[in-house]
Homo-oligomer: A and B are copies of this chain.
Amino acid sequence: MAPYTLTYFPIKGRCGALKMLLADKEQQLKENLVTREEWMKGDKKASYLFGQLPKFEDGDLVLYQSNAILRHVGRKHGAYGKNDCEASLIDMMNDAVEDLRQKYIKLIYQEYETGKEAYCKDLPNHLKPFECILSKSKSGFLVGDQISFADYNLFDLMLNNKVLCSTLLDSFPTLKSYVDKIAARPKIKALLECESFKKLPINGNGKQ
């Protein structure tokens, strides 16, 4: 029986990293898919605390906010650093990934036709800090010597940006090998190759 349930649209969207973290930790996930049509009716939307999806359930605990969900699972499954100091650094890294995810989301949903080129041209400026951090990391992860929820989040976002700006990682050798290394983790590889994951569009408007 799956202890975890996710209610979300039939897209990867803000749940890619969560699914990767759960898969990598061999956790089952029951998924409830909500179509746009159903969502637009309004009843479901009104029943959710902040009127948004995803919604995540762990027994009686109901969580909204994708980063709160990542932190929850990270906390439970040893992906939140080995002490408070590492936890704070992981928080910082995840917040920086979220900043970049918001830029990505804004482009996809609001400015795709007119803004894509400028976005891809500007993207290296936002990748430089991560390239720098990872080149200094002995473990190859963002913080400490273990993978954290911030790594799954950055990895997921890099996959999206590779689709959007195809030559993106060419000038970032550390980021490139980081993405390759995480993609090669057996359970991540299995997830990325599995039909139900592959078939999901990245975003809700079909753009990528």
Contacts and interface: CB of A to CB of B under 8 A. Distances in A.
Interface of A: 49-51, 61, 63-65, 67-68, 71-72, 75-76, 84-85, 87-89, 91-92, 94-96, 99, 102, 129, 132-133
Contacts of A95: 65, 67-68
A61 B85 CA distance: 7
Nearest to A60: B85
B129 A65 contact: no
A92 B75 contact: no
12 contacts: A50-B99, A61-B85, A63-B92, A65-B91, A65-B96, A67-B91, A68-B92, A68-B94, A68-B95, A71-B87, A71-B88, A71-B91
Given A129-B49, A133-B49, A88 B67 contact: no
Contacts of A68: 88, 91-92, 94-95
Copies of this chain, whole number:
2
Given A50-B99, A68-B94, 6 more contacts: A61-B88, A64-B92, A65-B91, A67-B95, A68-B95, A76-B84
A66 B64 CA distance: 21
Contacts of A75: 84, 87-88
Nearest to A132: B49
A85 B57 CA distance: 12
Contacts of A67: 91, 95
A65 B92 contact: yes
Nearest 7 A/B pairs, CB to CB = A68-B91, A65-B95, A68-B92, A72-B88, A65-B92, A71-B91, A50-B129
